[in-house]
Structure 1
Amino acid sequence: MKPVVPLILTFSALISPAAIADVDYTIDLLNPEHHLAKVEVSFPKTSSSALVVNLPVWRTGKYEVLPLADSVRLFKAKDASGSELPWTRTASGEWTVALDKPTAVTVSYQLYANKLGQRVNHIDASHAFLDASGTFVYSPEFRGEPINVSLSVPTQWNSYSGMDKGQTAHSFAAANYDILVDSPIETGISEHREFKADGKQYELVIWGEGNYDIDKMVEDLSKLSGQAEVIWDDYPFERYVYMVHATSGARGATEHLNSTIIQRPRFSYRDRKDYLGFIKTASHEFIHTWNVKAYRPQGLVPYDYQEEGITQLLWIAEGSTSYFQSQLLLRAGVITAKEFFEDLAKRVAQSEQTPGREIQSIASASANQWASTGGDYAVNHSTNIYSEGYLTSLALDFSLLSETKLKHSYRDVHRELYQSHRIPAGYSIEDVKSILKKVSGTSYEKWWQQHVNSPISLDFESMLKQAGLIVGYGEDAKSEPFVGVTLASDSLILSRVLRNGPAWNAGIVLGDEIVAVNGLKVTAAGFDSRIKDFKAGGEITLTLFSNDRLKEVKLTLGEQKSGKMAISSVAKPNRAQKAFLKAWLGIDWPFDKDGKLTSVD
């Protein structure tokens, strides 16, 4: 972590200019069965009239305000002599300790840690996962001071983190709170492997039982970890830790400074489809080590743990990361060309089935991410920074390849962001535009207005044709009748009504419950099959409950293609198209003379 620490110290020092002594954290995990722990924090001597103590109101990687401080009880503060100090709760994540003389201050509290799915913290009889944002308080006055963390744990537990090891097996050290808050700790009963890739040290730590193959995971993570040079010139770390939770239900992942936490259902590793979900997630979080942790938009530099960080560039932080994740795996030989194009086709199809892309720009979606709630309204009126950010990145990549006659790509933009706008600098919209002009030799002002500041509308057919590709449903696809609704699980209650679809135009709304089609009772399991009894363009009558009132609604069925969207080769790809694909993905032409993919699973 040597290249990282000085950068973080730079902006932390602005907050606490007088570095004097360490901040020491201890956490007692000796009785973990009920998700409880005791935390104690010793702050250096201060001459202030009050010591402000905070617990963040959000955690890095999740752009959402969370009630993290609700897990804190029995808060106490003592001076250097052990006498209790008066304190007041001054904000949702803030305590203010009154001081009548200069003194060191020790704060203690009970922590309830049961936010596994949020990837904040979790303590039970088998382990503890500790993200500092929901576990360890800090004082803005000492945010830049050196940190020591000591754990008291049951026998046979092992402790891991991206932080440097401390003086004992269950202790860690960090240069400041910013490193602590971005270096989660996994301690408990786990499997552990070490490996090297491109001269760097890696660890894989897995908590939980499941059908995973740890040797296969190490093999593929090794291949992935060696692909960073495809985009960046060097590494912002010397050691990296992949933490995995094989759990029941919890899923997701979060990037950190030189580590990641990945959560997957415990039996979702054996089948190829499930394993791809894991390895793509690992690639996504690994890329974040550069794109977000080493460089990120100015609205998030430095992190303000008590306030939202608004920026119009989250689509680059998240969507571009999604865009690169499968490319690195493809270049590493971890996934096949077939699997890569299946993923791309799925993303194109999802975009075309999301009416919200016609309403909200990707810039607006980025700025609104902190208030995003998902659901039916989001699908119909919003743009997703991950999925549409991926497609915006794709369009930008194709534009750069075309403008520079394959000499430069979107990878060069991220290489320049890493070189010139590394933390603590941050980057602005104008910085990105300037880099685009530097890379391409032309202004991207118009492109930015059309594709970033306006709802994105891409001509996938003409764009992909540059790489000799066709996107569509194929000759075997059939037209099917279309209602434009999604049913809630195992019921006839509508969880989604697509904007401007047949049901929407007929006045059917979210929460309505269908009971009959043309006067005959229908079941949740049989609804889709029943609709296929009719023809597109035909009229049907739906009987439904709306606000508990029974009513009948007539609608005209729309039309949609059956099957999955797929990407295939043009009939006779020319040399230029093959060269374009090679410059884009770094692989040779993967189709045979009949237009079929030559790679196999």
Structure 2
Amino acid sequence: MCSALPAWAKVDYLIEMSDPEHHLAEITIKFPKGHSELELKMPAWRTGKYKLLNQANGIRHFQAQTKKRKALKWTRRDKSSWVVDNPEQSAIVVKYTLYANELGLRTRHIDNTHAFLDATATFMYSPQLMDQVHKVELKVPDGWKSYSGMVQVDKHQFIAQNYDQLADSPIETGINELHEFSEDGRDYQVVFWGKANRSNDKIVEDLRALVGQSQTIWKGYPYKKYVFMIHATSGATGATEHLNSTVIQRPRHIFGKRSDYLDRFLRTASHELVHTWNVKAYRPQALVPYDYQQENYSDLLWIAEGSTSYLQDRLLLTAKLQTVKEFLTMLSKRVDKFRRKPGTKVQSVKQGSFETWTAQGGDFANNHSAGIYSEGFMASWLLDFQILSDTKLKSGYKNIHQMIYQKKEQLTNNNDPLKTIPFSEEDIKQLLKQLTDKDYQDWWQDNIDSPLSIDFEALLKKAGLQFAALKEKDFKVWTGFKSNESKGLITLTEVEKDGPAWRAGLTTKDQLIAVNGYQVNQQNLETWLKQFKPEDTIELTLFRNQQLVQKSLTLGKIAKKVHQIELMKKPSKKQKAFFKAWLGVDFPEEKSES
């Protein structure tokens, strides 16, 4: 379809790996004629990461000329913008050198074995030409192979229908291993860069079991081809969703142990797959279309991320890639984290969503903020159970996602992968009323507009679950701070709000040197604390701003391990039915979970 367009009606990119050992490439861009002034930009952020990034910082040797190599004047307007004067309105050729050594950010990385290229961090674009066809050609070392979610027209050439598709279709090229399969009429590529300590065939087998389970939530696909790009490496870790692809970075050693493989790879892969619908096929209205030059604020990022985290485990259960016991262990950890986090009582998921772009981390986040992932998960769980209860198990939260996606199918031609359906808060409330015949205004006010307050015992009971009983031996003394060792001193990294250390007046960056007059270090601190009981008061000696300070701390208590969620031994038929409607799998017999 792209080849039928006039030759001038596109933007051509050429990237030459000029010095991969030193992370350098040469970029050439050809823009069509017809503009007396052409503005060029580098995006200030990349899709999938709600933070502004300095993506123009790797550009050097910028130049602009006509096709006949006549130099054109240009000016740098701001950190992300260049303006080229073109009085003859001729076709323009722009060249620059790109430094690409940001693997962990999943923006751009080039070395002697591969290149990962997110277009937002690699290619300038012109706002005047964003709707044109964009072609990318790569000149790479012999033996390299190139892959992307875009249409591939040659070994190292790709076509995007517009800049938005290019921006959401990263390229992986290099010394890699390709696996391909088809499932439910869709084609999949799994590209490995690096070597994991698990068979690539087994990883691909698990991905194949996963992808078809999407249809237990949605009916239809927003793609015909999907690409998994897996970086099994060292140092870098993370993942990013894209239009019909994902890049997953994990240390090569985590693929071996079952718990690591499930927690850090399979759950991530499922999360990114869910994003293909929730964020790519449809997303909050404030992010449609993307504004690449500034923050895209939204009150609904808890749906974009938290609901994706919530739905990911349902796919793993129905795909039989995790057991119910493993799911309950994960859920136990999430509940424990929520109960321990003071910020859940301070900020709503709506506020947390809006502030994601400017959110602080560490101590402040734990004590004063709600996260779009963790608290978004909890809000999604509450909403799911409310819908299940209101519809007598006929529908759940997954049906809301089905309905939003059906709107995309109704409004687009043949599941146009480039068409994103926006939704607003009011849209969700209307869908809830349509699904349940009930007004959710009060529920929304109590759980989305306000900090979450959750009765987990009552929630679990609905599905035949409970917390395991705890005895006194299951608890230990609690200081209320986290720490690490720096220059031989215990440095406080987090002080939990309203915990023992908080009440004692301790703060982050305090350096603890003694307990009850005796020197301690990070290694023996835990041993020292075992001699005390909850409610005991200990005297702490510490440095604060290089001055000695004395503080009295009354110890609290905390469970030694995560409070485990378990199956009830004699659940009712109603509880079993709720469990099945919730997770899509049968309530297990006790012997099957032994």
Give the TM-score range, shorter chain. over 0.9
Partners of 1:103 and 1:243 in 2: how far apart?
39
Shift of 1:193: 0.3
Q: Could you say which residue in structure 2 is the equivalent of 1:27? A: 15
Q: Could you say which residue in structure 2 is the equivalent of 1:267? A: 253
1:300 aligns with 2:294: no
Shift of 1:394: 0.5
Partners of 1:499 and 1:572 in 2: how far apart?
39
Q: How does 1:66-465 map to 2 (within 5 A)?
A: 66-166=53-153, 168-276=154-262, 277-420=264-407, 423-465=419-461
Please, which of 522, 534, 537 is the counterpart of residue 532 of structure 2? 534
**SS where residue 60 of structure 1 aligns?**
coil
**SS where residue 45 of structure 1 aligns?**
coil
Partners of 2:259 and 2:219 in 1: how far apart?
32
Please, which of 31, 39, 58 is the counterpart of residue 45 of structure 2? 58
Shift of 1:531: 1.4
**SS where residue 226 of structure 1 aligns?**
helix
Displacement over 4 Å in runs of 4+: none
For these two proteins, the number of residue pairs brought into alignment is: 579
Partners of 1:45 and 1:357 in 2: how far apart?
55
Letter in 1 for 2:245: S
- Comparing 361-370 with 558-567, greater Cα deviation is found at 558-567
Partners of 1:479 and 1:270 in 2: how far apart?
32
Q: Contact 1:19/1:145 (CA < 8 Å) preserved in 2?
A: no
Shift of 1:476: 7.4
- Comparing 554-563 with 275-284, greater Cα deviation is found at 554-563
Letter in 1 for 2:73: P
Q: Could you say which residue in structure 1 is the equivalent of 2:593? A: 599
Partners of 2:383 and 2:311 in 1: how far apart?
13
Q: Could you say which residue in structure 1 is the equivalent of 2:558? A: 560
Q: Percent identity?
A: 48
Letter in 1 for 2:20: P
Partners of 1:164 and 1:420 in 2: how far apart?
26
Partners of 2:163 and 2:96 in 1: how far apart?
18
Q: Contact 2:18/2:26 (CA < 8 Å) preserved in 1?
A: no
1:512 aligns with 2:510: yes
Q: Contact 1:26/1:149 (CA < 8 Å) preserved in 2?
A: yes
Q: Contact 2:514/2:541 (CA < 8 Å) preserved in 1?
A: yes
- Comparing 534-543 with 76-85, greater Cα deviation is found at 76-85
Residues 29-66 of structure 1 deviation map (CA, whole Å, 9 limit, x = unaligned) = 1431100000011011123x311001101000000000
Q: Could you say which residue in structure 1 is the equivalent of 2:484? A: 488
Q: TM-score, normalised by structure 2?
A: 0.95
Shift of 1:425: 3.7
Letter in 1 for 2:257: D
Partners of 1:561 and 1:466 in 2: how far apart?
25
Shift of 1:599: 3.0
Letter in 2 for 1:376: D
Letter in 2 for 1:275: Y
Structure 2 unaligned segments of length 5 or more: list them.
Answer: 410-418
**SS where residue 39 of structure 1 aligns?**
strand
Q: Contact 2:18/2:24 (CA < 8 Å) preserved in 1?
A: no
Partners of 1:577 and 1:474 in 2: how far apart?
23
Q: Contact 1:80/1:105 (CA < 8 Å) preserved in 2?
A: yes
Q: Contact 1:30/1:154 (CA < 8 Å) preserved in 2?
A: no
Partners of 1:180 and 1:223 in 2: how far apart?
29
Shift of 1:528: 2.0
Q: Could you say which residue in structure 2 is the equivalent of 1:12? A: none
Shift of 1:375: 0.9
Shift of 1:572: 2.5
**SS where residue 135 of structure 2 aligns?**
strand
RMSD: 1.6
**SS where residue 227 of structure 1 aligns?**
helix
Q: TM-score, normalised by structure 1?
A: 0.94
Partners of 2:469 and 2:422 in 1: how far apart?
42
